[in-house]
Amino acid sequence: MKITMVGAGYVGLVSGACFADFGHRVTCVDHDPLRISALERGEMPIYEPGLDLLVAKNVKEGRLRFSTDLAEAARDAEAIFIAVGTPSRRGDGHADLSFVYAAAKEIAAFAHPEAIIVTKSTVPVGTGDEVERIARAARPGVEFAVVSNPEFLREGAAIGDFKRPDRIVIGTLDQRARDVMYEIYRPLTLNEPPIVFTDRRSSEMIKYAANAFLALKITFINEIADLCEKINADVQQIARGIGLDNRIGSKFLHPGPGFGGSCFPKDTQALVKTAQDAGAPLRIIETVMSVNDARKMKMTERVIQACGGSVQNKKIAILGLAFKPNTDDLREAPALEIINGLSSAGARIFAYDPQAMPSAKKLLPNIELADDAYSCVRGAEVLVIVTEWDEFRALDLDRIKKLMQQPVIVDLRNIYRPKEIFDQGFKYFSIGR
């Protein structure tokens, strides 16, 4: 099939490359000529494992190309996906849909009348209705079908998530559009992932409800972790003990410094706004948001306590800046909050992350960036593990201890076993145990 992807950002690029890999002919369109020329040179705008190779392979085999020319790319496409950003709108927290609506208008001007328009961007309930209205108004006489097809891609694991999804959600009541969508995803049906055919509004809501539930699950285990610390129980055991119940499930029960990233904070906020406006407030998700925000700040206090109550003029080593491993993304990363808190308390911060250093240079100009974990900890009074990159799971602790001023580790991701670390002669603080 011929597919056009509008927006060559994270979602558009991963989805476009995966569709091309299924055998479809895909053009990823973006307004930004620098982004497009970089992609044509094989340079990825984001770090996502495997994406560069997948793009290169499909470009070479002639199924994937990049362009700034939407008119040309849309003309004979059978499906045109909208995969542009929906950032939080400044001031009121609603999702900013201006990019989605602008794309809808532009697509309608050039698309083949039979083409279906598919929204992949995360958009509040009712956006599809508005996209349909805009598209039909822009081309009077053409009854464009508009489909909702949310993505459930985790950064760092996006290609696997796309190719082996738990489910595919397709929101439209239009039978022809359903058939086109089925054709697009047919290469995946060999593995028989459930396809949820539903109406457009329910599909839009599924995406927000899924992310809000996952954010809730994380926040739940984080609060249980805090309680475990008070009552001398081990949160890892609790997570295992409850996670084995099929009704609960073991995933997303890892306690930590609070969730971050480009989706959960923004999507919970947008959902809360939608619910308030609809007169059916989601008090549980409002609480998740405020508990999570407070948690990131509380992590600073833990580090200060581990340093004996003051970090004034002390060197602190931070391992991991990205909001999670296998990405270079710093958006809403707990590390930012922790570093700001510690800097305000007078600490000198040294940090290292395997991928996020270029973005850290811009966002955190006042800290020292180290070349690796070992140079980061040299002379430090405390080592704080903020992101659970694999390379931090197997540090040479003997070497670390010799390099540090004081052998103190604050492990905000529970990647070490307390006994192992105590046996090596460290003071060790983790989460919920």
Q: How far is the CB of 113 from ligand UDX (least distance, A)?
A: 32
For ligand UDX, give the closer residue by CB, 22 or 152. 152
Q: Contact at 8 Å (CB) between 369 and 351?
A: yes
Sheet holding 116-119, edge to edge: 64-67, 25-29, 2-6, 79-82, 116-119, 145-148, 168-171, 195-198
Phi-psi region of 151 (alpha: psi -120 to 50; beta: other; left: phi over 0): beta
- Amino acid letter, 317: A
Q: Contact at 8 Å (CB) between 201 and 128?
A: yes
For ligand UDX, give the closer residue by CB, 27 or 86. 86
For ligand UDX, give the closer residue by CB, 263 or 382. 263
Gap between the Cα atoms of 378 and 392, Å rounded: 15
For ligand UDX, give the closer residue by CB, 155 or 353. 155
263 is catalytic: yes
Q: How far is the CB of 238 from ligand UDX (least distance, A)?
A: 13
The two three-digit tokens of residue 77, written as one number: 């496409």
Gap between the Cα atoms of 4 and 313, Å rounded: 54
For ligand UDX, give the closer residue by CB, 107 or 169. 169
Nearest position to ligand UDX, beta carbon: 263
Gap between the Cα atoms of 147 and 370, Å rounded: 47
For ligand UDX, give the closer residue by CB, 128 or 407. 128
Gap between the Cα atoms of 137 and 131, Å rounded: 10
For ligand UDX, give the closer residue by CB, 246 or 366. 246
Residue for token pair 């060197």: 315
- Amino acid letter, 382: V
258 Cβ contact list (under 8 Å, min separation 6): 218, 219, 222, 292, 293, 295, 296, 299, 334
Q: How far is the CB of 136 from ligand UDX (least distance, A)?
A: 29
Gap between the Cα atoms of 266 and 125, Å rounded: 15
Q: Which of 18, 28, 263, 376 is catalytic?
A: 263
Q: Contact at 8 Å (CB) between 376 and 399?
A: no
Which residues of this protein are in contact with ligand UDX, per CB under 6 A?
151-155, 211, 214, 218, 252-254, 256, 259-261, 263-264, 323-324
For ligand UDX, give the closer residue by CB, 111 or 253. 253
Q: How far is the CB of 226 from ligand UDX (least distance, A)?
A: 14
3-class state of residue 140 by DSSP: coil
Q: How far is the CB of 430 from ligand UDX (least distance, A)?
A: 14
266 Cβ contact list (under 8 Å, min separation 6): 86, 87, 88, 95, 332
Q: Which helix (H) or strand (E) holds 303?
A: helix 283-306
171-198 exposure pattern, b = at least 16 Cβ within 10 A, e = fewer: bbebeebbebbeebbeebeeeeeebeeb
Residues designated catalytic: 263
